[in-house]
Amino acid sequence: MVVGTVQKSDGALAEDGLTVTVTNTNRNLEQTTILGRNEKGKFSVIFSNLEGKDEIIAVGDQIKFEIKTATGELLSTQSFSIKVEDMQRARLVVSLAIADTTPNRIKWEKDGLMMD
């Protein structure tokens, strides 16, 4: 299981509705979820092997996270390596960061009037 939070650069939780894709790059396994589906600013995915034939995660595997807007704009890509402690807990807990997704409003003055 992989669980985590996504925060903006100011430390506030990111807006719900962002897409979080979690990929085990060593095993070519991928899960996608929506931020805030169960709890504000948080996500979780489960990698499972119902057939029991192949290992789905091991110490040293690289786990890549991609965070995108609803329109598909990539906001962040981050990676973590699975440690022994993660395997002992049976979960990887991460805190991911993105830049603020709210467009800056630029005001400028023209002929004495403030414009947005």
With contact defined as beta carbons under 8 Å apart, do 68 and 96 qualify?
no
Q: What is the pLDDT of residue 56?
A: 86
Residue 100's CB: how many other CB atoms inside 10 A?
Answer: 13
Which tokens hold the place of 17? 């509705």
pTM equals: 0.81
Distance in angstroms (rounded) separating the CA atoms of residues 19 and 49: 23
User: Into which CATH architecture does domain 2-100 fall?
Assistant: Sandwich (2.60)
Domain boundaries, the chain: 2-100
Q: What is the pLDDT of residue 103?
A: 47
User: What count of Cα atoms within 13 Å lies in the side-chain half-sphere of residue 89?
Assistant: 11
Q: 36, 59, 56, 60: which is closest to 46 by C-alpha? A: 56
Start-to-end Cα distance in the chain: 45
Q: What is the pLDDT of residues 58-112, one digit of tens each?
A: 999 999 999 999 899 999 999 999 999 999 998 899 999 998 655 443 344 444 4
Q: What is the pLDDT of residues 87-98, one digit of tens each?
A: 999 889 999 999
With contact defined as beta carbons under 8 Å apart, do 79 and 67 qualify?
no
Q: What is the pLDDT of residue 112?
A: 47
Distance in angstroms (rounded) separating the CA atoms of residues 114 and 101: 24
